[in-house]
Amino acid sequence: MSASARRSSGPGLIQSRPLDGTALPARHSAPRSPKRSSPMAQTNTRVFSGIQPSGVPTLGNYLGAIRNWVPLQDTHEAIYCVVDLHAITVWQDPKELARQTREMAAALIACGLDPARCTLFIQSHVHAHARLAWIFNCVARLGWLNRMTQFKDKAGKDREAASSGLYVYPNLMAADILTYHATKVPVGDDQKQHLELANDIAQKFNHDYGVTFFPLIEPLIQGIAARVMSLRDGTKKMSKSDPSDQSRINLTDDQDAIALKIRRAKTDPEPLPESEAGLEGRPEARNLVGILAAITGETHAGVLRHHGGKGFGAFKEVLAEALVAHLGPIRAEMNRLLQDPAALDAALRQGAERADAIATPICDEAERLVGFLPRK
């Protein structure tokens, strides 16, 4: 059991119930089948991930997450979600939110998600997410949430003014995953802490209610660019919510915008080093080398073998060209999809129906375990 789960105790009555005398499965091991047999708990190869429609998807989203979601469609039952409930934890203009939600769905499809091979939908269309999140609000401890670095970053100095939704955001994220009994979650490196919390919540629920109902989640953090940094500051992650558009490459940027942003990207005055060790203490150089490596399928060392010794002027030309060639077709496909919003909406509605068929029975069962009377 994790430290945080151990620290907080559930209600005495339930706690006194023995759990077979065994600890819950260790982190990252395959989930055991639940004590109370329920058909949906048998799946242990389900993948779930989500992305917020809080702006235009960035190169960071693409390299750190979306691109890694694509191959999982062929090896797993893959469920992907545009998380609009998460987006409103910070203010979103309603018209913009609607537009960005469609745009994000189009971007995901343009990057290679195929609504016929995966389940792709909008979070608010499947009510199980919000229902299970409420239960998890009552399972997670304040002490656990207080440690979340994303909350601290996003709330900034004036924490009192942050929405309560922003604070309990990780509980909703846990519900997103666990209402599908998904066990593999491909995300960028920044989400690791939230997934650890989701495991703490799953364990505490299982413990408090004396069941092995929710499986353990394993983060899939893949790729050389699990964390793409801002083009203005190599120590900050590239983010769709950064006030400076110059800090990021958007998947909607045209070739001139990409070239200009790369040309203006912050660097240091030294030429590129010949080997990876030379990137030490040079976050901007490391970031640009990492981006080219991720785009061309090379390693940092491979990129430096080709370009070590070059000044940034010449290197940036190469990088911009590679990005334009890679992102151009994605942008074109996105624009094509956005020309037919009715078709896009229909695909998302179908996705929501498929998602609902999995999520609702699991959420119903969680409510039954908690002691809620059945609706039907």
Residues that bind ligand TRP (CB under 6 A): 48-52, 83, 86, 173, 176-177, 185, 187, 191, 194
**Binding of residue 240 to ligand AMP (CB under 6 A):** yes
CA angle 83, 84, 88 (to 5 degrees): 125
Least Å from the CB of residue 285 to ligand AMP:
17
Determine if 228 is a binding residue for ligand AMP (CB under 6 A). Answer: yes
What are the tokens at 257?
């915008």
Do the Cβ atoms of 241 and 60 come closer than 8 Å? no
Please give the residue whose beta carbon sits closest to ligand AMP in the complex: 64
Residues 290 and 322: their CA atoms lie apart, in Å, by 13
Taking the complex as a whole, the smallest distance from the CB of residue 150 to ligand AMP amounts, in Å, to 8
Q: Which is closer to ligand AMP, CB of 150 or CB of 350? A: 150
Per CB under 6 A, contacts with ligand AMP among 155-194 are: 187-188, 190-191
Number of residues that bind ligand AMP (CB under 6 A): 17
In the complex with ligand TRP, which residue's Cβ is closer, 48 or 214?
48
Q: Report the nearest approach of ligand AMP to the CB of residue 238 (Å).
A: 4
Residue 101 Cα distances to 158, 179, 188, 341, angstroms: 28, 22, 20, 11
* Positive or negative: CA dihedral 196, 103, 249, 306: positive
Burial class, 75, CB count within 10 angstroms (exposed 0-12 / middle 13-18 / buried 19+): exposed
Q: Is 61 in the site for ligand AMP (CB under 6 A)?
A: yes
Considering the candidates 204, 240, 261, 316, report the single residue annotated as catalytic: 240
Can you read off the two tokens belonging to residue 311? 């000044």
Closest distance of CB 118 from ligand TRP, Å: 14
φ/ψ of 80, rounded to 5, equals: -125, 140
**Residue from 237, 261, 266, 316 carrying the catalytic annotation:** 237
How crowded is the C-beta side of 49, counted as CA atoms within 13 Å?
28
Residue 154 known to be catalytic:
yes
Per 3-state DSSP, the chain is made up of helix, strand and coil in percentages (nearest 5) of 55, 5, 35
CB of 51 to ligand TRP, least distance (A): 6
Q: Using CB distances below 5 to 8 A depending on partner kind, what does residue 284 bind out of ligand TRP, ligand AMP, none? A: none
Q: For this structure, is 236 an active site residue?
A: no
- Residue closer to ligand AMP by CB (options 81, 366) is 81
Does the annotation count 240 as an active-site position?
yes
Quick one: which of 227, 232, 282, 300 contacts ligand AMP (CB under 6 A)?
227
Do 313 and 281 form a contact (C-beta atoms < 8 A)?
no
Which of ligand AMP, ligand TRP, none interacts with 176 (beta carbon under 5 to 8 A by kind)? ligand TRP
DSSP annotation string for 230-291: PSS-TTSB--TT-S-GGG--BTT--HHHHHHHHHHS---SSPPPSSGGGGTT-HHHHHHHHH
CB of 120 within 8 A of CB of 351?
yes
Query: How far apart (Å, rounded) are the C-alpha atoms in residues 285 and 312?
Result: 9
Pick what 238 binds: ligand TRP, ligand AMP, none; C-beta below 5 to 8 Å, kind-dependent. ligand AMP
Contact between 100 and ligand AMP by CB under 6 A: the answer reads no
207 touches which of ligand TRP, ligand AMP, none (CB within 5 to 8 A by kind)? none
Site for ligand AMP in 304-323 (CB under 6 A): none
Amino acid making up residue 186: P
Tell me the window of 130-138, 220-228, 257-265, 315-323 that interacts with ligand AMP (CB under 6 A). Answer: 220-228
End-to-end CA separation in angstroms for the chain: 36
Among 116-124, 233-241, 292-300, 349-357, the segment contacting ligand AMP (CB under 6 A): 233-241
CB of 89 to ligand AMP, least distance (A): 11
What pairs with residue 229 in β-bridges? 237
Calculate helix-pair angle for 300-307, 312-338, nearest 10 degrees: 130
Q: How far is the CB of 153 from ligand AMP (least distance, A)?
A: 11
Name the site residues for ligand AMP (rule: CB under 6 A).
51-52, 60-61, 64-65, 187-188, 190-191, 226-228, 237-240
- Catalytic sites, residue numbers: 154, 237, 240
